[in-house]
Each structure stands twice: as C-alpha cells, then as structure tokens.
A and B are shown apart, each in its own frame.
Chain A
Amino acid sequence: MTVTSTSAPAVKPPQDGARTPRAAALLAGIGGQNISLVGALVVVLGLFAILNDNYLSLSNMQVIAEAATITGLLAVVQTVVIICGGLDISVGSQVGAASVVSAMVFTSTGSGTLAGMAAAIGVGVLIGILNGLVIVYGRVNPTIATLAGLAAYKGLAQLLSDGRAQGFVLGDDVFIFLGRGKLAGIPVMVWILAVVALTVHLLLKHTDIGRNLYAIGGNDTAARLAGININKYLVFVYALIGVVAAVAGILLTARTGSGQPTSGSEGLELKAITAAALGGCALKGGKGGIGGTLLAVALLGALENGLTVEGINTFWQNVAQGALLVVAVVIQQRRSGERAVGLPH
C-alpha cells in the first residue's frame, strides 16, 4: 500500500495561543489587521498631538469626523463589493451625479426637499443596477465596467449641471440639519455613517445574505454549486452601492449648499478603495469587514487632517496616501505567503 497509514489522526493542535483562550478569542474577534490599524491610528494621533496642541481637541475631532464621513460611506459599500469579489470605481462619479440631481430637483420643485432626495436615491439605484447588469450579463470585468461608469456618470453630472454648481439648498432646514446639525454633540453626518455602517455590518455578519456574499467572493464556483443565485446578489450589491452613493451625494449637497458635479466627489473612489484595502479586505474577495474599513477611514482622516494642520502640501498628502496603500497590501500579501511569480491574484 502506498498510502501512509494514519489510522487515528491526531487532533490538530490549535495554532495560536489556546493557552489563554479568552485572550485568543478576543484577539480573533478584533483580528490582526485591525490591531495594527489601531496601532497606526494611535501613532498618528500621538504624533500630531505632540506637534500641535489643538489636534486632539473636540472641535478638531469633529472636523476630522465630518470630513471623513462621505469617504466612510463609500468605503463601507466598497467593502461589500470587494467581499464578493468585485470592485466599483465609479462611486465618486455616482456621488457627483446624485448631488447634482438632489439640488436641481430640489430647486425645480420649489424647495421640494423630499423630492430632491428621492430623485437622487432613484438615480443611485438606477446607476447601480446598470453597473450590475453590465457586469453580470454583459460579462464585463468589474474594474472596466465601473471605469466606464466613472467617466460616463461624471459626464452625466456635468451635462445636467452644465459643469457648474447648481441650486442652493441652505435655505432648507432639512439640508441644514444634515450638513451642519449635531445630535448629542456628534454631527448628524457622522450619525448617518454610523447607521449605514451598522446596518451593513449586521447584513454581512448576521444575515444569510451576508454569508452568501462572503461565499461568492471566497469561491464563486462552490457558491453556485451550493445553490446561491450569484447574479442576483451581484446586481443587488451594485444597487446597494448606488443607494449609499446617493446618500453621500445628498450629504455633499448639504455640506456645500449646492449640487456639485465634480468638486468634492472626484477621487473619492480611490479613497474608498484605499480604506477598504487598508482595512483588510482581500481584493480577490471573501475576506474583510466593516470594522477594519472604518478604522482605516479614521486613520486616513486623521492623517489627512494632521498633515493639513501642519501645513504640509496636499501633493505630499496624496503621496502619503498612496504609499500607505501599497505598504498595507504588500504586508497583507506577505502574510498570506503568496509566491512571487507572475501577476498576483
């Protein structure tokens, strides 16, 4: 017989630290990636606190949080699509389109707050479904499909707005509340991000939908053979992105006071993907979570704010953000022990 006999295979010893089960469970709950993010965040906060007395003040924290909200919303849904193995680089353009639509409908309906918001969300859903259909039924690679969307939806926003800021919403209480209001000392925008993040977290971790999304990203063949309707889920996820991007667009309108076709939304896709990747999403899918992504959003926000406070050129900030992303992914790949042959998966 050629098979080596292992008639009574020993139980595999639990690898990392079953000696202190509680500590191990806690570690597993937070995750190694997140611990390094917390560490990085502490370092960044500490460094800038030393350099600038005001950095850790409540008002500056609020500034950081508000500035990071729109990125945060997009990063949360980017996390979802990356988990199921896709990508959406058209999110920034979607925000611009939604922002323009919300302001223009608001104005043209004579301060129709609800109409403006509903129209923006409607446009978001349509764009998302279109993305999903092109990818699933047009068989277009998600990166290419949403690259096309990045250009097309930006163009759409510019066409609608003639390339200029449109409408003025800051006469409206609801928009003022969304953009400037506070609840229990915390900006309303941050509350919205919290609600969206919590909802998506529950969706991912505690519903069958979430399980199926992880399954699709982890092994799509196995997911299909286990009876999951992959196409339906993918279209759903892109529609979800559209809705959340529309919410972000409405917040952008509320922040700036008018519909912005590109200003404030251009480049958000890069920040969102950076945050998701930093937060531990494997770009091949099947891995990641909202917690890590939010930590990464906080880290990026704290870094950006600190560099601005220190008066460092924004060009350098871009370099820093890019470097951080590459370093994070290199560390991630090293950990997974991939062989350096050809293109990475």
Chain B
Amino acid sequence: MHPSMSTPSDPAAAPEPRGPRPDTAPPSDSVGVSGITKRFGTVQALGGVTLDFPGGQVTALMGENGAGKSTLLKILTGDHQPTEGHVLIGGAAADLASPARARAAGIRIIPQEPEIIPHVSVAENVYAGALPRTRGRFLDRAGLRRRITADLERLGFTGVLDPNLLGSRLTPAQRQLVEIMRALTGTTPPRLIAFDEPTSSLSEHEVEALFLLIRGLRDQGLAIVYVSHRMREIFRLADRIAVLRDGNLVGVQQARDTNERALVRLMVGRDLSTLFVRQNVATDRLVLDVRNVTTDKVTDISLRVHAGEVVGLAGLIGAGRSELALALAGDQPIRSGTVTLDGTPLPGGSPGKAIRAGLGLAPEERKAQALFLQRSVRDNISLAVMDRLRRFRFVRGSAERALAEHYTDRLRVRTPSIAHEVRTLSGGNQQKVVLARWLARKPAVLILDEPTRGIDVGAKAEIYQIIADLAKEGVALVVISSELPELLGLADRVVVMQGGRITGELSHAEASEEAILALAMADDSVAAAPGAAS
C-alpha cells in the first residue's frame, strides 16, 4: 500500500526558523516505505516491505527478535541505506543518506537506550550539535537558556526536567525526556517520531505519563511509530498494528480488529523446519544444578540440566538469558544461590575456573566474545586446551595440528587450511570454529548462546547435528536461542525467561511457539511481584 495522496514537497525546502517553533505544526505529508529490501552480505534482513505511517495515528511495529523491526527503523532514520526500495515522504522518494538528512526531513527516533552526554547540562544535551551561538563561535548562554525555558514550557516539561542538571544525573525517564525534546525541537518540524521499546526502563506511572505525551503528539497530527513487545501497551496505545516476520510484512491491521492471539499467530506462523534431529537421549544423571541464583542482572534462577539433555532457554532480548550464561561461566559475580556441577560446587570468580571445572560457554557475539579474527583456525581451536597440549610451557606443534585437523574434519569447517585466519571464513564456519574449541575441551556442561545467529541454513543444519551428537555423548547442554522453531526442534525442555526471571518451563510436548511467547511476553506486573528479590 502506498501513502495516501498528499502533495509531494521537498523536505529541504521546509522553512528553517531559528530556534524552536511556537508549536509542532506538522506537515501534512505522510511518511512511508515502499518495497524496502535490506541485505547484509548474504543475510536478508528485510524483503520488500511496503508500509505507510499516516499522521495522527500510532502505528505499532511488532515481530519476534530478528524479524526486521530495528532494521526498518534504522532505514527510516538514515542509519542504514536500503538495498532496494525507497523511503517516501509525501509520496515522493526521499534520499535519507545520513541520520542528519532524516532528521532534517522530520523523521525522529527515541532510541531504546537514550544517548546522553554525561558531563554537560540537559540544555546542552537537548541541542547538542546545534547549540545557539553568538557571532563568532561563542556559545550563546543566554540564548540557550531562553530556548530551553521556552521549549520546556511549550512541551509541558517545566518542573520535570531541570535544564541545568548534568546528563549523568538523570533518571531513565528523564533521559528519555531529553531524547523526546531532541526529537521535538530542531530547525525543521517533526513529522514522524519512532519510539523503540520506550517503556523498558520506566516505572508504571512514568509509562502513563509517556502515553499521555504520545497521544498528545498524535492528536497534533504527528505520525507515531511504536515498537514494543508488550501486548498490553500495544493495545492501549496503537491505532494500527503492523507485524513483521523474517523481514517480511505479514499483516497490517486496525488495533480494534485484532487480538493478542491473532497477533502471536501472525508473528510466529511459519513452517516448522525439518532440519532438526533431536533424539531423546536425556538421562537421569543430574549434571548442572542451579539453585536460586541471583546476580546483578538475573533474579532467583533455578535450573537443572541432566547428562544428554538439551535445555532450551527462551525469552526476548534483554530477558537476562545471556547474562545468566555469563554468570554461570564465571564472568559475572553471583550474589546469592548455589551452582553445582556433578555434585561439586562450581567455583565462580573467573571463566578459567569454570572451564577447568567442566563448564564451557560459546557466547552470543562470536566475533566480539569468542574469536580471534586475526589468528589461525588452529590457534582459535587450541586456545582453551593449551594445558593439555603443552610440554613444560612449549606447545606441542604436532599434537596441536592433529587436534585442529580432527575437529575441523569432524565439524566440517570449510577452510583452505587450519593455518588460515578465522576472519576469512564465513559466519557459519566461524561458529563451527567456536564449537570446535569447546568440543576439544570436552566439557560436562556446554552453554550455547545463539549458536546459529546470522548463518545460512546449511550450516544451521550441521550445527543442529553437532548439538544432537553432543547430547548423545552425554554432555549437558543449554541452548539459548531467539529462534523459536529452533528451540522447539532441539530442546527436551524449554525454560522461558523475562525480566531476569524464569517465568515458566515447558516440556517438549507442551512447548509451542504460542506458549513460549505467552511466557516471554507475560506482563511485568505479574512476573515481578514486589518483594520476591532478596
């Protein structure tokens, strides 16, 4: 669908008043996207998305992790350039070559994590990059004060936000207000404002205040894009709901014409892959026993994993799954609770101790957290087993080569040789190198965080086979994944987290995408009963 007929106009020709306008007089031209495709290398993040964002309406953008919501927002705000297709403003293709262009065209985003400069005042934070100045390049302090006072007054934030406060002293809600003020001020009037998960760090009454503000902006005729995972918020706020799945737009509906169940079905409704090779090889031998573990990021986690069992850890981004994995691997301090491995307490404090005790972690970001891109495949594999490969302190070259050859063969790592630098390999083969490192270590417990992210289908199938083989060998496995079909296909049990807590557990038979999503999106008010934390 194309944006409604409205007179095309060049955004650059918009009047440029100095200082804020008395009101956010929104232009009538609506914003939309037409046939947007975005590819990163071989991965397609968006496939031909056409959607309009009419003024005076809140359009909610929904979808699972990786469905393409963030990519779409980044294209709207000029952060990414579409591979194909256009952003339309008033029906005409707009060239949003940079965030500055998008901003000038009136497209503004309130990011999930506000970008605040810590050591300058709120006033300077709001107008960062376009500070008022006197002739010459001196900062016009009086002008800055007049401007912030006027803008605070106009937007009704006087008293809520002290313009002299330093950025570092703001509460999460105030930080967000700074971002909102940035969006609503500027030399060109705003026409579309996108909110990316705005409520994730707000208290309940702050959420109410935010909703009032958003409705006010909408009633002034601004187009609002609202990205959230929280169903209840969506239905309270949105006029229209657009659902993305695997980079495709799978439905746009009026909020009053749909319901939660129908949305979930739209979000997940894809064919279950036949790639999975789960064999029921779980045993009764308890290997990993986590009891009431609380860290700075997760609360009261209890989890048991048996030899040969694959436990899936589901949840949305920010649910605390990776943080739990890092805590178990010794990289984040455990404040209370116990972890035992094969009956003996797992030593905390450093990843080295956890590894020697028999726990391995293939972390979420393979390039940032696991691989040495400039080093060879061999060096990357052998790193965690150096203590078994050295004589005195010298590395036994032949043993190391044999080990690397063995695991690159077994995992079918496609590399010209084990001496090649890891950065030259494809994503799937890089991931296999990470797995090879842990297979070589032979841990009793292996935690795999997003083991198939960003890799092609063929490599995915091979990694599923490796996981199944490890289970057969009696390794206790925890697989963290945001791809629900993957968890359903692999896991003997799925544990669901939200907001740093476990909100439910589903057996293989009980687990379905709908059931997992329901637990993962359970309202915070239900999950976070006050007083539960110690």
In the complex the two chains form, is A287's CB within 8 Å of B383's CB? no
Considering residues A6, A211, A212, A222, which has the most beta carbons from chain B within 10 angstroms of its beta carbon? A222
Known: A207-B393, A226-B351. A9 touches B456 (CB 8 A): yes
Stretch at the interface among A130-138, A213-221, A234-242, A249-257: A213-221
The answer to the question of B355 belonging to the interface, with a C-beta cut-off of 8 Å to chain A, is yes
Known: A2-B247, A208-B386. A227 touches B351 (CB 8 A): yes
In the complex the two chains form, is A11's CB within 8 Å of B416's CB? yes
Interface string of B367-400 (1 = CB under 8 A from A): 0111111110001001110110110011101000
The answer to the question of B331 belonging to the interface, with a C-beta cut-off of 8 Å to chain A, is yes
What count of chain A residues pass the 8 Å CB interface test? 37
Q: Which of B248, B352, B414, B457 contacts A3 (CB 8 A)?
A: B457
Q: Which residues of A contact B372 (CB under 8 A)?
A: 214-215, 218-219, 222-223, 286
Interface string of A193-230 (1 = CB under 8 A from B): 00000000010001111011011001101111111110
A26 nearest CB across to chain B (Å):
14
Q: Give the complex CA separation of A13 and B369 in angstroms.
A: 27
Q: Give the complex CA separation of A225 and B331 in angstroms.
A: 7
The answer to the question of A313 belonging to the interface, with a C-beta cut-off of 8 Å to chain B, is no
Q: Give the complex CA separation of A10 and B44 in angstroms.
A: 20
In the complex the two chains form, is B458's CB within 8 Å of A2's CB? no
Known: A207-B394, A211-B383. A5 touches B369 (CB 8 A): no
Q: Which residues of B contact A12 (CB under 8 A)?
A: 414-416, 424-426
Q: Which residues of B contact A206 (CB under 8 A)?
A: 394-395, 397
Q: Could you tell me which residues of chain A, from 9 to 51, have a CB within 8 Å of some CB in chain B?
A: 9, 11-15, 18
The answer to the question of B253 belonging to the interface, with a C-beta cut-off of 8 Å to chain A, is no
| Chain B residue at minimal CB-CB distance from A221 | B369
In the complex the two chains form, is A215's CB within 8 Å of B375's CB? yes
Q: Give the complex CA separation of A124 and B43 in angstroms.
A: 54
Known: A2-B246, A4-B44, A6-B456. A225 touches B363 (CB 8 A): yes
Q: Give the complex CA separation of A227 and B347 in angstroms.
A: 13
Q: Give the complex CA separation of A287 and B397 in angstroms.
A: 20
Q: Could you tell me which residues of chain B, from 225 to 267, have a CB within 8 Å of some CB in chain A?
A: 246-248
Q: Give the complex CA separation of A208 and B361 in angstroms.
A: 21
In the complex the two chains form, is B373's CB within 8 Å of A219's CB? yes
Q: Give the complex CA separation of A13 and B417 in angstroms.
A: 11
In the complex the two chains form, is A218's CB within 8 Å of B373's CB? yes
In the complex the two chains form, is B456's CB within 8 Å of A4's CB? yes
Known: A214-B375, A219-B368. A3 touches B416 (CB 8 A): no
Q: Which of B329, B371, B393, B394 contacts A219 (CB 8 A)?
A: B371
In the complex the two chains form, is A226's CB within 8 Å of B416's CB? no
Q: Which residues of B contact A214 (CB under 8 A)?
A: 372, 375, 379
The answer to the question of A341 belonging to the interface, with a C-beta cut-off of 8 Å to chain B, is no
| Chain B residue at minimal CB-CB distance from A2 | B44
Task: Report, as a range, how many residues of chain B touch the other chain.
Answer: 35 or more
The answer to the question of A340 belonging to the interface, with a C-beta cut-off of 8 Å to chain B, is no
In the complex the two chains form, is A7's CB within 8 Å of B395's CB? no
A236 nearest CB across to chain B (Å):
12
Q: Could you tell me which residues of chain B, from 170 to 206, have a CB within 8 Å of some CB in chain A?
A: none
In the complex the two chains form, is B329's CB within 8 Å of A225's CB? yes
The answer to the question of B103 belonging to the interface, with a C-beta cut-off of 8 Å to chain A, is no
| Chain B residue at minimal CB-CB distance from A209 | B393
Q: Which residues of A contact B355 (CB under 8 A)?
A: 226-227
A214 nearest CB across to chain B (Å):
6
Q: Give the complex CA separation of A308 and B351 in angstroms.
A: 54
Q: Could you tell me which residues of chain B, from 94 to 111, have a CB within 8 Å of some CB in chain A?
A: none
Considering residues B383, B414, B437, which has the most beta carbons from chain A within 10 angstroms of its beta carbon? B383
In the complex the two chains form, is B390's CB within 8 Å of A207's CB? yes
The answer to the question of A183 belonging to the interface, with a C-beta cut-off of 8 Å to chain B, is no
The answer to the question of A184 belonging to the interface, with a C-beta cut-off of 8 Å to chain B, is no
Q: Which residues of A contact B363 (CB under 8 A)?
A: 225
In the complex the two chains form, is A226's CB within 8 Å of B393's CB? no
In the complex the two chains form, is B374's CB within 8 Å of A9's CB? no
B444 nearest CB across to chain A (Å):
15
The answer to the question of A327 belonging to the interface, with a C-beta cut-off of 8 Å to chain B, is no
The answer to the question of B356 belonging to the interface, with a C-beta cut-off of 8 Å to chain A, is yes
The answer to the question of B499 belonging to the interface, with a C-beta cut-off of 8 Å to chain A, is no
The answer to the question of A8 belonging to the interface, with a C-beta cut-off of 8 Å to chain B, is yes
Q: Which residues of B contact A9 (CB under 8 A)?
A: 414, 426, 428, 456, 458-459
Q: Give the complex CA separation of A215 and B372 in angstroms.
A: 7
B256 nearest CB across to chain A (Å):
31
Q: Which residues of B contact A6 (CB under 8 A)?
A: 42, 456-458
Interface string of B35-69 (1 = CB under 8 A from A): 00000001110010000000000000000000000
The answer to the question of A330 belonging to the interface, with a C-beta cut-off of 8 Å to chain B, is no
In the complex the two chains form, is A2's CB within 8 Å of B47's CB? yes
Q: Give the complex CA separation of A4 and B387 in angstroms.
A: 41
Interface string of A266-277 (1 = CB under 8 A from B): 000000000000
The answer to the question of B134 belonging to the interface, with a C-beta cut-off of 8 Å to chain A, is no
Q: Which residues of B contact A5 (CB under 8 A)?
A: 456-458
In the complex the two chains form, is B246's CB within 8 Å of A221's CB? no
Q: Which of B371, B382, B386 contacts A222 (CB 8 A)?
A: B371
Q: Which residues of A contact B382 (CB under 8 A)?
A: 211
B426 nearest CB across to chain A (Å):
6
Q: Which residues of A contact B356 (CB under 8 A)?
A: 227
Considering residues A3, A14, A15, which has the most beta carbons from chain B within 10 angstroms of its beta carbon? A3
B residues near A (Cβ < 8 Å) are 42-44, 47, 246-248, 329, 331, 350-352, 354-356, 361, 363, 368-375, 379, 382-384, 386-387, 389-390, 393-395, 397, 414-417, 420, 424-426, 428, 437, 456-459
Ranked nearest first, the 6 interchain pairs of A and B with the lowest CB-CB distance are A227-B352, A208-B386, A227-B355, A218-B372, A207-B393, A14-B416
A residues near B (Cβ < 8 Å) are 1-9, 11-15, 18, 202, 206-209, 211-212, 214-215, 218-219, 221-229, 286-287
Q: List 23 A-B contacts (CB under 8 A).
A: A2-B47, A4-B456, A5-B458, A6-B457, A6-B458, A9-B428, A12-B414, A12-B424, A206-B394, A206-B397, A207-B393, A207-B394, A207-B395, A208-B389, A208-B393, A208-B395, A214-B372, A219-B368, A222-B370, A224-B350, A225-B363, A226-B437, A227-B356
Given contacts A3-B456, A208-B390, A287-B374, 5 further A-B contacts (CB under 8 A): A8-B458, A9-B456, A13-B416, A218-B372, A225-B370
